[in-house]
A and B are shown apart, each in its own frame.
Chain A
Amino acid sequence: MNKSSGVQSTGLTQEKLLEVEKVSVYYGAIQAIREISFHIAQGEIVTLLGANGAGKTTVLRAISGLIKPSQGKISYRNEIISKLSPDQIVRRRICQAPEGRGIFLNLSVFENLDLGAWTAPDPKTFDKDLNQVFELFPRLGERQNQNAGTLSGGEQQMLAIGRALMGHPELLLLDEPSLGLAPQIIEKIFEIIQKINCDGMTILLVEQNALQALHIAHRGVVLEAGNLVTQGTAQMLLSTDEIRKAYLGE
């Protein structure tokens, strides 16, 4: 069911991990997204692009079950998940690092990470997982007993990602991990995203920072005012002049 001619093989397995089909979401009377359809294959990084207010976060909220679509459905591994509660969806191994560095500012770094492991399939791997997160983000290890509110912006973002990793995601949802961070830190975070993808994790990366996101993504989906306007391989999106101008800020 390819909706867009842009959807092509990326050299990865074509097994659809997540499929979003004609999903619409309302906040009260306001329609935030309109009949959005796209999919994510196992092993891909798909980036969801669009300006502020385009509806990107709403798509992630719908996938995580925080808001119910009024139309359409979302399936994961061929199971419809759009009727499940958020905690049931996390148990399907879909973990999200929410936007605005959504971490628990009233808890310590360690406590944040521990809550990320709330649904981890095997409690015995906790120490190993924690060490892996500290290897990726050494600053978090140094500051594990500090209150999360005392971290810098970049560290908070690392905590949000690290905490999501503690839940053993098969699909990782990242909502604007680069927002408000210094260029070197953005680069570092993108490197890490690419690394965890190479280790086998499927990622949906929401970004406004389109060029940088397309450089690490396999495919991109572009939203504008709640509508999906185009989707295709990263290469294709990067090479189309029209798209560069309209959506990539050139």
Chain B
Amino acid sequence: MMLEFIQHLVNGLSLGSIYALIALGYTMVFGVLQLINFAHGDVYMLGAYIGMYTAHFFQLGQNSSVLALIFTITVSMITCAVVGFLIEKFAYRPLRKSPRINVLITAIGVSLFLEFSGQLLFGPDPKFFPQIFKPSGDWSIGELKINPLQILVFFISIILMSVLQTIIFKTRLGRAMRAVSFNHDLASLMGIPTHRIISYTFMLGSGLAGAAGVLVGLTYPKIDPLMGTMPGLKAFVAAVLGGIGNITGAVIGAMTLGLAEEFLVGYWAPTYRDALAFGILILILLFKPTGLFGVKQTEKV
């Protein structure tokens, strides 16, 4: 009984931390642009493929070390950050003064573009993600067996989130990001170059999604060009659950969703895994649209 519980807990935290890495990008971009970046899940997909190709190229599947993993994650994060930069610059920036609906349609367009480009470039069939970090076996504590990969995913995510937290709350760049998310005009009256800060925000969010792509490849080693859709939607739900725009809220929302999913699947109804997120979304939108930790957005002039 207890063993099973701990098992689900570990799985839930690991899954939740992957949702959290993706949800942070949604929530940060929403913070600065009031935009739901529907292409974000696809950036996560790209992250997985970039990780795969990096591992193949450097033949990391054979050394299988933490260093190889860190290297792969770094390459994927940097590449995804560049992709995020380009998406913002070429798809969203020209629409900065357009009606919200135009931007939303563009976001869906970018998402489809990335998915079809992925199918074209990587092939539509699932591929195996190389085992760049392969633990020698499960950790057993008495009868409890834990896959060290799950723990590793959790810890790497925590480290990345702490770095992000530090950037946002302790650096001048983070201060500028929070200023821009409060009000663009006011931020630019400080001399803050708002376009550039928005670019940085996309880069940070996309980098985290890239890391999530690699971590998922590590634990669920089949990747395909449409793999971003479902986790993307779920991370979005997690961001809404935590109050979209709220950094801490996104992490808590994602962890809640990850745990809820694992416990639901483990104890009750395995086939309803994907339905849970949508159920939560509907409930939140009905009863508390600002999310659990959301404050009412200050209206823009």
Q: Tell which of A65, A91, A96, A107 touches B178, judged by Cβ atoms closer than 8 Å.
A: A107
Q: Tell which of B181, B190, B298 touches A118, judged by Cβ atoms closer than 8 Å.
A: B190
Q: Mark A79-93, 1 if CB is under 8 A from B, else 0.
A: 000000111001100
CA distance A96 to B188 in the complex (A): 10
Are B186's CB and A98's CB within 8 A? yes
Contacts A104-B178, A104-B179; A114 near B189 (Cβ below 8 A): no
Count of chain A to chain B residue pairs whose CB atoms are closer than 8 Å in the complex: 65
Residue B193 lies at the interface, judged by CB distance under 8 Å to chain A = yes
Are B190's CB and A106's CB within 8 A? no
Residue B176 lies at the interface, judged by CB distance under 8 Å to chain A = yes
- Which residues does chain B contribute within 8 Å of A64, judged by CB atoms? 189
Residue A216 lies at the interface, judged by CB distance under 8 Å to chain B = no
Residue A53 lies at the interface, judged by CB distance under 8 Å to chain B = no
- Interface positions, chain A 61-95, Cβ under 8 Å from B, are 64-66, 85-87, 90-91, 95
Are B191's CB and A87's CB within 8 A? yes
Q: Mark A4-47, 1 if CB is under 8 A from B, else 0.
A: 00000000000000000000000000000000000000000000
Distance between B284 CB and nearest chain A CB, rounded to angstroms: 22
Distance between B102 CB and nearest chain A CB, rounded to angstroms: 17
Contact-size category for B: 10 to 19
- Which residues does chain B contribute within 8 Å of A167, judged by CB atoms? 190-191
Contacts A87-B192, A90-B191, A118-B192; A102 near B178 (Cβ below 8 A): no
- Which residues does chain A contribute within 8 Å of B185, judged by CB atoms? 66, 86, 98
- Which residues does chain A contribute within 8 Å of B181, judged by CB atoms? 106
CA distance A184 to B194 in the complex (A): 37
Distance between A212 CB and nearest chain B CB, rounded to angstroms: 25
Are A118's CB and B191's CB within 8 A? yes
Residue A111 lies at the interface, judged by CB distance under 8 Å to chain B = yes
Interface of B is mostly: helix
Are B175's CB and A86's CB within 8 A? no
- Which residues does chain A contribute within 8 Å of B71, judged by CB atoms? none
Q: Tell which of A66, A103, A107, A111 touches B188, judged by Cβ atoms closer than 8 Å.
A: A66
Are B186's CB and A85's CB within 8 A? no
Are A107's CB and B179's CB within 8 A? yes
CA distance A157 to B50 in the complex (A): 51
* A103 to B, closest residue via Cβ: B186
Q: Tell which of A91, A98, A107 touches B182, judged by Cβ atoms closer than 8 Å.
A: A107
Residue A105 lies at the interface, judged by CB distance under 8 Å to chain B = yes
CA distance A103 to B183 in the complex (A): 10
Are A115's CB and B179's CB within 8 A? yes
- Which residues does chain B contribute within 8 Å of A119, judged by CB atoms? 190-191
Q: Tell which of B176, B183, B189, B298 touches A86, judged by Cβ atoms closer than 8 Å.
A: B189
Q: Max chain B CB contacts within 10 Å: which of A85, A104, A107, A116?
A: A104
List residues of chain A with CB under 8 Å of any chain B CB. 64-66, 85-87, 90-91, 95-96, 98, 102-107, 111, 114-116, 118-119, 163, 167
List residues of chain B with CB under 8 Å of any chain A CB. 172, 175-176, 178-179, 181-183, 185-194, 298
A-B contact pairs, 12 of them (CB 8 A): A66-B188, A87-B192, A90-B191, A91-B191, A98-B186, A102-B183, A102-B189, A107-B179, A115-B176, A115-B179, A119-B190, A167-B190
